[in-house]
């Protein structure tokens, strides 16, 4: 075992000595970047020993610069090593490599250096790198080890043999330096930008095997300055090198540099496309069904630590489709375990809902409902073609990875068809559902520092900005705070952007300095300020998709709410659609505001106007829909009698009749401070 | 930049340079700068007027889907892409050629070598900056854009077209071989912005992006495009840097609509030219810096109109001639 | 500055007397705020309030009517600089010119075209709106004679272009009762022109290349009792027109210069470049555009551009729901269902026509929503489709029972199948692929 700390010093010393002893010309051919690392770091185009020493000094004795000067001196003196080694990679080849990196056909690059003891392990690592769309550079004895083990090397195999010694590793650095200058606009000599570029974009890591000379260790250790992690499965300890087991080296390297591979094809004998989403499977077409009323079934998606999730692993516990008779009804647990650095527990329910969509994408699979109410069917047709229960798992594993590439690093699926096990797990699942419901129901605006925006409607309402908070879903009712948060995670440049609340300006109106700043920008300066919890002063703008409109009724000092589905007249004297036409389009109209149904039940609901107690009228349709939840809320508030004091169209359509009714029931709004 | 160096306060459309002279590593005899304006189109004078818009004539390498009206007009040229391109500049008076690789749209296309050859041929035949349109099929994008980019290395062509779900190959080609990119989004200001952000993440510098907000055909949704261009220009001037980019407009379906397709052969050219002209002219008024048409006759009509709109706002040589001279 | 509904409401009597025709004062206030009604409908306001509300809610550009009878039109009453801010309301009238020096046949030719030529697009008949008579002969009687002859054979809106009051009088003697636009008064002739405008109750255009001079002329004419005015900024180039027309519109809608709150006349003829000038007038705020003899191709393109620019951007144009035969289909032809959002319809229609495949386009009423929005918003449902199948009597029109639905409507396929009993197939999500889909995949 070599101690990095020990050999680093002697390695540096040897580099210094060799630099001192350097003579003659120094340089590569077929490049416009002189000695690329040296050029990028110092801005100096080195061509002989004297200028090499000058640059070395200017770089603050960078080991990379030393390594490069020495390698280039060898080139100038003797030329490259020749077949099978590539040596220094010319600019034209590099440009193509860079293209593939930006283009995504190469996911990242890796360097494997040294001389592995275990040829099979080294071959396995290289194979894994090939499979993960990485371009692998090789330096040192590893090349011989691999070719002797029958592994083909060469650019066409994405295994590039740089040179026979560990020193050839320096070419890995000159590649990164040239990519930064060619593709990243890094100017020679601008070390800060070079390091920034490497830190943000260099999707690169090193795997080091034993047998490196001290100065080779020093040069490779120098890669760390370019934010390249050095992993070592054997032979080294100490320093900043990271010890990893063989099998985990590639995964670890990819994870540390955020390298991801996009899965494309779904390996199952069944077509899978959104076109099949709405297909239903009738009883006579069905081979087997799960859940429904006939057997217990549930689905559960959970986030797990990375080491507990093996990406793509699918397991069926209990009978497979071949063990089942045609027409049978079977219990099923769909357990999806996911891992990802930015995946949070809060996202579980939102992702879990996608199980429904994904399973319906299958040509012969069908899924309804959610949680412990799920009902799944497979057709005779696809079962005949070889689709098994495990394929549902494969479908889910792939779809989740494809749809959430930035969020999820690994997805494994377990499908349980064993009756006893399903029933046993059901209770546990239910407890998890309950816990989730409580957490979401209990989530308050003050619990979070970030709200989210939605500007999807700007297509037709140019200046409309929806601000979505835990207690105030988007006014279309379709996007909750959590939905928006995840939408942002998935598409950071998308229509849902984080909005830092910033300083609280007015707790009653719900005005925040950060929200105002955001709205001003996103509305193209059309709107300066918005009140999240009020409708009289600077209310939120209205797009046109709102589920309901809340408007004031000055004559009765109250608020009426009318929902989209109600086609009749209102006490204001306007129907929903006339009202919508008047206030929509992205304008801020005091006294009128578009809202979601969900917001009506929130404690923040128009609190600046006394909230729910101010509501005097809503259509019976809406009143009935909200009844249970609203009564519960009013009960909690200690005003259960209020529900019956809210009029609907059966009681009053004109404001005169409404006034009479409200007086009769003594509605609290009548005694409140005047709205106008 | 200090106030002193920037005498015109306010926000400007970013300048994008197209084409490279010999000194810059290309072979173009003219290069253009588009963008730069600080006002709505044709309202400014002096530096605030920005650079004059450019008229591009579209040609293709596989004429099977091209309008028969245009093919009749250009005759044998259609069989010789290089000659067609040369004629666009000399005979038809376009500021630039937009070469569309329609051959890549056929199913199972795999003649990638022909792309490079055609690009070289067109480069050899022309003197002005070029726009080159690659494939629309993600499966072959990588190969197509590498070939095109490589063949045009150093010429700083405008490469199309990047879209939100397939922009990597175009961006990679632009980065690797020094080109600019057309970024197209479907008639939506926020999507246009998002794509610019995505391109930014590939490290493509903003001054190498031209926005294509997608132009619907006259009579078939053109009004959406007109308004989205006005909106983009408007928010850009209000300071939204992600949208302060030059725009390109091409109502590519103009010659496929019923009105044109079914026109009497005697008047077909007239109808085709007008249908293209009204959309392209309106796009200029809405803020497009590059307008593209396919009928040679439309170019002349646009040229006259542009001259009347630019009168007095630009130095003669920049407005109509060679910027690099 | 425009006022918000609530601010207006505060100034109203709050009696809900309904005399304005609205059930509540608040409803009236909302209509006022959007500039859709006039404050005078409320009989109970004091003079000061009436004036205040009028100034804040009346359209910043005056509505002016040109012509009498069926083809008369109004211009003005616009509120915004860009159509995306709200919409443009009154499309400009295109007035094709004839000169009194022209031979009779040439004049007749133009008159016949204006009278008879129409293009049918999207359920609308598009045509040039009227005739502009240009006095070139220097002979007032001759001018009057030409107007008289034309008047006898065409009743279309007119513009009388003559800067000489006597020539105007000669023309108006024949057509004055049909409310032509008098074009144009300048400083010297304002008085006489105003007298004519008053006598016949016509709109009058004032002409000056300088906005201050235009304002002065407006004041002059108003003092002489003429309110229906239009502004001709006398451009010498396209660039002039753009700059002046934009400035006039800006000051008018910002309500900073009420004297510029009148629609603009654009006489394109002296500028040459007929296509460019006509398009510019349509795009940039002209109320009346005097055009040269545009050929049929130009006319059709210009009218189409006008139709595009004057559609309401916040209200997607809708296609009438129903069954549309494409490429002469027979009973075995495929039926493609989609929504009545015009852009969807046109795009799909374009591809189908280009592909040349006979089929039926089956349009259901989603109130102009696109497929994606209609599915997401629950507007497109299986019942809607089932009802539409009934109303269109689809079962009698085709001899199969297969319905192709848009790719984005896939989530509804099962439900539609159940509700209608038709076999549902899911087509592509992109209209561009429909030709290929039908060629490879379709058989009933």
Contacts of B113 (CB under 8 A, 6+ apart): B147
Q: Is residue A266 part of a domain?
A: no
- What does each C-alpha distance from A560 to A551, A573, C146 come to in angstroms? 6, 12, 64
Looking at the structure, tell me whether residues C164 and C303 fall in a common domain: yes
Q: Which of the residues B45, B215, B219 would you substitute to probe the C interface, choosing the one with the greatest number of C C-beta atoms within 10 Å?
A: B219
Distance separating alpha carbons of residues C125 and C70, to the nearest angstrom: 13
Output the six-digit token pair for A220.
Answer: 């490779």
Looking at the structure, tell me whether residues A518 and A598 fall in a common domain: yes
Q: Which of the residues A103, A193, A458 would you substitute to probe the B interface, choosing the one with the greatest number of B C-beta atoms within 10 Å?
A: A103
Looking at the structure, tell me whether residues C234 and C272 fall in a common domain: yes
Cβ neighbours of C426 in A, within 8 Å = 275-276, 278
Looking at the structure, tell me whether residues C51 and C69 fall in a common domain: no
* CATH of residue C402: 3.40.50.11600
Q: What is the pLDDT of residue C441?
A: 64
Q: What is the pLDDT of residue C317?
A: 66
Min CA distance, C415 vs chain A (Å)? 7
Which residue in B274, B282, B313 is closest to C297 by CB distance?
B274
Which of A386, A417, A440 delimits the end of a domain? A440
Output the six-digit token pair for A560.
Answer: 């009426």
How many alpha carbons lie under 13 Å from residue C291 in its C-beta half-sphere?
Answer: 31
Looking at the structure, tell me whether residues A232 and A280 fall in a common domain: no
* CATH of residue A665: 3.40.1470.10
Range with the lowest mean pLDDT among A236-240, A466-470, B199-203, C47-51? B199-203
Min CA distance, B24 vs chain A (Å)? 15
| pLDDT tens, position by position, A357-366 | 899 888 899 9
Output the six-digit token pair for C152.
Answer: 């006898």
Report the domain count for chain A: 3
pLDDT at C407 over 80: yes
Looking at the structure, tell me whether residues A227 and A86 fall in a common domain: yes
Min CA distance, C349 vs chain A (Å)? 22
Cβ neighbours of C344 in B, within 8 Å = none
Looking at the structure, tell me whether residues A300 and A330 fall in a common domain: yes
Peptide bond into C406 cis (omega under 30): no
Which residue in A275, A460, A589 is closest to C410 by CB distance?
A275
Which residue in B220, B259, B274 is closest to C275 by CB distance?
B274
Q: Is residue C314 part of a domain?
A: no
Looking at the structure, tell me whether residues C301 and C340 fall in a common domain: no
Residue C357 pLDDT class (50, 70, 90 cuts) = confident
Cβ neighbours of C410 in A, within 8 Å = 274-278
Among chain B residues, the shortest Cα distance to C309 is held by B223
Q: Are A102 and B177 an interchain contact pair (Cβ–Cβ within 8 Å)?
A: no
**Which stretches does DSSP call E strand in A115-259?**
134-139, 159-163, 204-208, 230-232, 236-237, 242-243
Write down which chains contact chain A via at least 3 CB pairs under 8 A: B, C
Give percent of chain C above pLDDT 70: 97
Looking at the structure, tell me whether residues A516 and A415 fall in a common domain: no
pLDDT at C1 over 80: no
Q: What is the pLDDT of residue C367?
A: 80
Q: Are A126 and A97 in contact (CB under 8 A)?
A: no
Buried b / exposed e over A351-368, threshold 16 CB at 10 Å, is bbebbbebbbbbbbbbbe
Q: Which domain, by its residues, includes A325? A: 274-440
Which residue in B218, B261, B313 is closest to C308 by CB distance?
B218
Cβ neighbours of A573 in C, within 8 Å = 22-24, 26-27
Q: Are A185 and B203 an interchain contact pair (Cβ–Cβ within 8 Å)?
A: yes
Q: Is residue C197 part of a domain?
A: yes
* CATH of residue A61: 3.40.50.2030
Which position has the higher pLDDT, B49 or C280? C280
Q: Are A95 and B177 an interchain contact pair (Cβ–Cβ within 8 Å)?
A: yes
Distance separating alpha carbons of residues B93 and A275, to the nearest angstrom: 48
Looking at the structure, tell me whether residues A425 and A489 fall in a common domain: no
Looking at the structure, tell me whether residues C297 and C331 fall in a common domain: no
Query: Which residue positions in chain B have pLDDT lower than 70?
Result: 1-9, 314-325
pLDDT at A352 over 70: yes
Which residue's entry shows tokens 């005759």? B75
Residues of chain B in Cβ contact (below 8 Å) with chain A: 141-142, 145-146, 149-150, 168-169, 171-173, 175-177, 187-190, 193-195, 197-198, 202-203, 205, 231, 234-235, 238, 240
Secondary structure letter of residue A166 according to DSSP: G
Contact pairs from chain B to chain C, CB under 8 Å:
125
Which of A217, A241, A265 delimits the end of a domain? A241
Q: Is residue A254 part of a domain?
A: no
Q: Are C23 and A656 an interchain contact pair (Cβ–Cβ within 8 Å)?
A: no
Alpha helices in C254-317 (DSSP H): 274-283, 296-309
Q: Is residue A545 part of a domain?
A: yes
Q: What are phi and psi of A197, to 5 degrees?
A: -60, -45
Strand C286-291 vs strand C264-267: parallel, antiparallel, or unpaired?
parallel
Mean pLDDT for chain C overall: 92
For residue C74, how many other CB atoms are within 10 A of its CB? 16
Say yes or no: A455 contacts chain B, CB-CB below 8 A.
Answer: yes
Peptide bond into A84 cis (omega under 30): yes
pLDDT at C130 over 70: yes
Range with the lowest mean pLDDT among A230-244, B56-70, C81-95, C361-375? C361-375
Looking at the structure, tell me whether residues A388 and A479 fall in a common domain: no
Range with the lowest mean pLDDT among A533-537, C22-26, C433-437? C433-437
Which residue in B230, B258, B309 is closest to C84 by CB distance?
B230
- What does each C-alpha distance from C87 to A69, A463, B219, C286 come to in angstroms? 68, 15, 17, 15
Q: Is residue C297 part of a domain?
A: yes
Range with the lowest mean pLDDT among A80-84, A86-90, B271-275? A80-84
Q: What is the pLDDT of residue C181?
A: 98
Mean pLDDT for chain A overall: 91
Q: Are A114 and A235 in contact (CB under 8 A)?
A: yes
Output the six-digit token pair for B79.
Answer: 């069989």
Among chain A residues, the shortest Cα distance to C23 is held by A573
Cβ neighbours of B230 in C, within 8 Å = 82-84
Interface of B with C in 231-250 (CB under 8 A): 231, 234
Q: Is residue A260 part of a domain?
A: no
Report the domain count for chain C: 3
Q: What is the pLDDT of residue B203?
A: 86
Output the six-digit token pair for B187.
Answer: 């008639």
Q: Are A103 and B177 an interchain contact pair (Cβ–Cβ within 8 Å)?
A: no
Range with the lowest mean pLDDT among A418-432, B278-292, C361-375? C361-375
Which residue in B234, B267, B309 is closest to C297 by CB distance?
B267
| pLDDT tens, position by position, C83-121 | 988 899 999 999 999 999 999 999 999 999 999 999 988
Range with the lowest mean pLDDT among A94-103, A508-517, B267-276? A94-103
Which residue in C14, C23, C34 is closest to A654 by CB distance?
C23
For residue B127, how many other CB atoms are within 10 A of its CB? 14
For residue A119, how many other CB atoms are within 10 A of its CB? 16
Q: Are C273 and B257 an interchain contact pair (Cβ–Cβ within 8 Å)?
A: no
Write down which chains contact chain C via at least 3 CB pairs under 8 A: A, B
Q: Are C84 and A462 an interchain contact pair (Cβ–Cβ within 8 Å)?
A: yes
Interface pTM (ipTM) of the complex? 0.94
Contacts of A169 (CB under 8 A, 6+ apart): A67, A111, A113, A137, A139, A140, A162, A206, A216, A219, A220, A223
Which residue in B223, B282, B309 is closest to C239 by CB distance?
B309
Distance separating alpha carbons of residues A247 and A266, to the nearest angstrom: 25
Say yes or no: B112 contacts chain C, CB-CB below 8 A.
Answer: no
Q: Is residue C129 part of a domain?
A: yes
Q: Which range has highest mean pLDDT (A272-286, A580-594, A605-619)?
A: A605-619
| pLDDT tens, position by position, C206-229 | 999 999 999 999 999 999 999 999
pLDDT at C188 over 70: yes
How many alpha carbons lie under 13 Å from residue A59 in its C-beta half-sphere?
Answer: 30
Q: What is the pLDDT of residue B3?
A: 30
Output the six-digit token pair for A417.
Answer: 């068809």
Q: Are B267 and C276 an interchain contact pair (Cβ–Cβ within 8 Å)?
A: no
Q: Is residue A251 part of a domain?
A: no
Q: Which domain, by its residues, includes C14? A: 5-57
Residue A263 pLDDT class (50, 70, 90 cuts) = low
Range with the lowest mean pLDDT among A50-54, A448-452, A540-544, B208-212? A540-544
Peptide bond into A59 cis (omega under 30): no
pLDDT at A109 over 70: yes
Peptide bond into A281 cis (omega under 30): no
Q: Which superfamily, per CATH, for B47-320?
A: Dihydropteroate synthase-like (3.20.20.20)
What is the length of chain A? 676
Q: Which of the residues B134, B162, B176 would you substitute to probe the A interface, choosing the one with the greatest number of A C-beta atoms within 10 Å?
A: B176
Cβ neighbours of C237 in B, within 8 Å = 308, 311
Mean local confidence (pLDDT), A435-457:
86
Buried b / exposed e over A293-324, threshold 16 CB at 10 Å, is eebbbbbbbbbeeeeebebbebebebeebeeb
Q: Is residue A366 part of a domain?
A: yes
Which residue in C82, C273, C295 is closest to B304 by CB distance?
C273
Output the six-digit token pair for C342.
Answer: 């015009």
Looking at the structure, tell me whether residues A292 and A416 fall in a common domain: yes
Say yes or no: A585 contacts chain C, CB-CB below 8 A.
Answer: yes
Q: Are B194 and A458 an interchain contact pair (Cβ–Cβ within 8 Å)?
A: no
Min CA distance, A494 vs chain B (Å)? 6
Say yes or no: A458 contacts chain B, CB-CB below 8 A.
Answer: yes
Distance separating alpha carbons of residues B137 and B106, to the nearest angstrom: 10
Among chain B residues, the shortest Cα distance to A184 is held by B203
Among chain B residues, the shortest Cα distance to A100 is held by B172
């Amino acid at each position: 075992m070599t101690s990095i700390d020990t050999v680093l010093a002697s390695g540096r010393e040897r580099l210094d000595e060799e630099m001192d002893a350097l003579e003659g010309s120094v340089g590569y051919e077929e490049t416009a970047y002189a000695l690329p690392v040296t050029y990028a770091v110092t801005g100096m185009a080195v061509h002989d020993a004297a200028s090499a020493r000058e640059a070395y000094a200017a770089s603050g004795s960078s080991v990379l610069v030393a390594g490069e000067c020495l390698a280039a001196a060898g080139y100038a003196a003797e030329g490259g090593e020749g077949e099978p080694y590539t040596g220094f990679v010319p600019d034209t080849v590099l440009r193509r490599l860079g293209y593939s990196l930006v283009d995504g056909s190469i996911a990242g690059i890796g360097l494997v250096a040294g001389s592995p003891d275990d040829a099979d392990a080294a071959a396995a690592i290289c194979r894994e790198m090939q499979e993960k769309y990485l371009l692998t550079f090789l330096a040192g004895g590893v090349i011989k080890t691999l070719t002797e083990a029958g592994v083909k090397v060469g650019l066409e195999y994405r295994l590039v043999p740089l040179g026979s010694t560990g020193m050839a590793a320096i070419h890995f650095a000159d590649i990164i330096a040239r990519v930064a200058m060619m593709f990243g606009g890094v100017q020679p000599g601008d070390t800060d930008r070079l390091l920034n570029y490497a830190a943000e974009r260099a999707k690169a890591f090193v795997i080091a095997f034993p047998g490196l000379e001290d100065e080779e260790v020093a040069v490779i250790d120098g890669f760390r300055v370019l934010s390249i992690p050095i992993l070592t499965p054997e032979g080294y300890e100490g320093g900043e090198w990271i010890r990893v087991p063989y099998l985990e080296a590639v995964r670890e390297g990819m994870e540390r540099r955020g390298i991801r591979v996009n899965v494309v094809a779904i390996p199952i004998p069944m077509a899978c496309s959104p076109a099949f989403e709405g297909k239903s499977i009738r009883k006579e077409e069905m081979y087997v069904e799960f859940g429904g009323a006939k057997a217990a079934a549930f689905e559960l998606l959970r986030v797990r630590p990375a080491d507990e999730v093996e990406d793509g692993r699918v397991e069926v516990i209990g009978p497979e489709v071949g063990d089942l008779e045609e027409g049978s009804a079977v219990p099923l647990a769909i357990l999806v375990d996911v891992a990802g650095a930015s995946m949070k527990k809060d996202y579980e329910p939102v992702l879990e809902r996608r199980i429904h969509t994904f399973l319906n994408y299958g040509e012969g699979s069908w899924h309804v409902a959610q949680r412990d109410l799920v009902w799944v069917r497979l057709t005779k047709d696809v079962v005949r073609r070889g689709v098994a229960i495990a394929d549902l798992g494969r479908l889910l594993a792939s779809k989740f990875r494809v749809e959430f590439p930035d969020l999820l690093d690994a997805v494994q699926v377990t499908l349980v068809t064993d009756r006893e096990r399903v029933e046993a797990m059901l209770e546990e699942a239910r407890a998890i559902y309950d816990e989730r419901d409580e957490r979401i129901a209990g989530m308050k605006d003050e619990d979070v520092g970030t709200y989210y925006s939605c500007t999807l409607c700007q297509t037709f309402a140019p200046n409309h900005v929806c601000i979505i908070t835990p207690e105030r879903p988007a006014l279309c009712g379709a996007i909750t705070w959590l939905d928006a948060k995840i939408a942002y995670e998935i598409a950071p440049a998308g229509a849902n952007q984080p909005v830092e609340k910033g300083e609280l300006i007015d707790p009653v109106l719900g005005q925040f300095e950060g929200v105002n700043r955001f709205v001003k920008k996103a509305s193209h300066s059309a709107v300066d300020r918005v009140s999240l919890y009020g409708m009289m002063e600077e209310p939120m703008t209205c797009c046109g998709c709102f589920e309901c409109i809340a408007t004031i009724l000055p004559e009765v000092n109250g608020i009426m709410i009318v929902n989209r589905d109600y086609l009749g007249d209102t006490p204001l004297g306007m129907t929903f659609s006339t009202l919508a036409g008047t206030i929509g389009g992205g304008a801020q109209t005091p006294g009128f505001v578009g809202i979601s149904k969900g917001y009506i039940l929130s404690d923040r609901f128009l609190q600046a106007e006394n909230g729910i107690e101010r509501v005097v009228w809503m259509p019976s349709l809406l009143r009935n829909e909200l009844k249970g939840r609203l009564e519960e809320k009013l009960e909690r508030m200690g005003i259960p009698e209020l529900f019956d004091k809210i009029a609907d169209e059966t009681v009053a359509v004109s404001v005169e009749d409404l006034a009479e009714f409200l007086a009769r029931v003594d509605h609290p709004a009548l005694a409140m401070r005047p709205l106008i | 930049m200090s106030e002193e160096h920037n005498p015109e306060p306010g926000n400007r459309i970013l300048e994008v340079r197209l084409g490279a002279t010999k000194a810059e590593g290309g072979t173009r005899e003219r290069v253009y700068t588009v963008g730069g304006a600080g006002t709505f189109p044709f309202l400014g004078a002096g530096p605030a007027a920005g650079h004059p818009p450019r008229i591009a004539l579209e040609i293709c390498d596989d004429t099977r889907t091209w309008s028969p009206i245009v093919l009749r007009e250009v005759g044998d040229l259609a069989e010789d892409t290089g000659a067609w391109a040369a004629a666009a500049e000399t005979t038809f008076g376009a500021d630039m050629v937009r070469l569309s690789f329609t051959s890549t749209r056929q199913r199972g296309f795999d003649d990638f070598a022909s792309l490079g050859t055609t690009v070289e041929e067109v480069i050899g035949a022309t003197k002005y900056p070029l726009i080159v349109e690659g494939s629309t099929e993600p499966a072959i994008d990588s190969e197509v854009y590498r070939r095109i980019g490589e063949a045009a290395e150093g010429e700083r062509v405008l490469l199309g077209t990047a879209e939100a779900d397939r922009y990597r190959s175009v961006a990679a080609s632009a980065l690797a071989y020094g080109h600019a990119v057309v970024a197209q989004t479907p008639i939506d200001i926020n999507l246009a912005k998002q794509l610019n952000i995505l391109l930014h993440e590939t490290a493509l510098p903003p001054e190498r992006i031209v926005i294509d907000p997608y132009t619907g055909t006259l009579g078939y949704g053109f009004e959406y495009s007109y308004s989205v261009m006005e909106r983009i220009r408007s928010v850009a001037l209000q300071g939204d840097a992600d949208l302060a980019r030059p725009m390109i407009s091409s109502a590519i379906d103009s010659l496929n609509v019923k009105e044109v397709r079914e026109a009497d052969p005697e008047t077909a050219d007239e109808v085709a030219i007008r249908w293209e002209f009204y959309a392209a002219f309106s796009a200029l008024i809405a803020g497009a810096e590059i307008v593209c048409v396919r009928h040679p006759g439309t170019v002349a009509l646009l040229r006259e109109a542009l001259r009347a709109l630019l009168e007095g706002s630009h130095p003669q040589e920049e407005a109509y001639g060679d910027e690099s001279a | 500055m425009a006022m918000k509904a609530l601010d207006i409401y505060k100034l109203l009597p709050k009696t809900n007397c309904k005399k304005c025709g609205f059930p509540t004062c608040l409803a009236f206030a909302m209509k006022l705020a959007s500039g859709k009604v006039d404050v005078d409908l409320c009989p109970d306001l004091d003079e000061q309030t009436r004036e205040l509300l009028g100034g804040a809610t009346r359209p910043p550009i005056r509505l002016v009517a040109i012509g009498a009878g069926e083809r008369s039109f109004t211009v003005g009453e616009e509120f915004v600089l860009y159509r995306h801010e709200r919409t443009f309301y009154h499309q400009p009238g295109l007035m094709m010119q004839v000169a009194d020096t022209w031979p009779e046949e040439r004049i007749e030719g133009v008159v016949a075209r204006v009278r008879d030529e129409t293009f049918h697009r999207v359920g609308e008949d598009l045509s040039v709106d009227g005739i502009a008579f240009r006095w070139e002969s220097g002979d007032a009687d001759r001018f009057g004679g030409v107007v008289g002859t034309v008047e006898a054979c065409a009743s279309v809106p007119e513009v009388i272009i003559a800067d000489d009051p006597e020539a105007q009088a000669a023309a108006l003697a024949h057509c004055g009762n049909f409310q032509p636009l008098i074009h144009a008064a300048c400083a010297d002739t304002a008085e006489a022109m105003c007298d004519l405008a008053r006598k016949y109750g016509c709109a009058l255009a004032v002409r000056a290349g300088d906005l201050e001079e235009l304002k002065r002329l407006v004041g002059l004419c108003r003092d002489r009792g003429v309110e229906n005015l239009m502004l001709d900024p006398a451009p010498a180039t396209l660039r002039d027109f753009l700059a002046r027309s934009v400035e006039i519109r800006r000051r008018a809608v910002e309500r900073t210069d009420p004297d510029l709150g009148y629609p603009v006349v654009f006489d394109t003829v002296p500028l040459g470049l007929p296509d460019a000038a006509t398009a510019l007038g349509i795009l940039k705020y002209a109320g009346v555009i005097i055009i040269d003899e545009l050929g049929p191709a130009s006319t059709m393109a210009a009218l189409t551009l006008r139709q595009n620019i004057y559609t309401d951007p916040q209200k997607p144009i809708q296609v009438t729901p129903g069954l549309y035969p494409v490429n002469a289909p027979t009973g075995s032809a495929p039926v493609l269902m989609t929504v009545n959002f015009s852009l969807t319809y046109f795009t799909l229609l374009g591809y189908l026509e280009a592909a040349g495949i006979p089929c039926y386009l089956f349009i259901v009423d989603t109130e102009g929503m696109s497929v994606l929005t209609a599915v997401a918003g629950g507007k497109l449902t299986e019942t809607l489709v089932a009802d539409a199948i009934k109303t269109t009597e689809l079962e009698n029109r085709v001899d199969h029972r297969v319905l192709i639905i848009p790719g984005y409507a896939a989530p509804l396929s099962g439900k539609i199948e159940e509700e209608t009993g038709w076999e549902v197939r899911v087509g592509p999500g992109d209209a561009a692929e429909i030709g290929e889909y039908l060629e490879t995949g379709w058989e009933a």
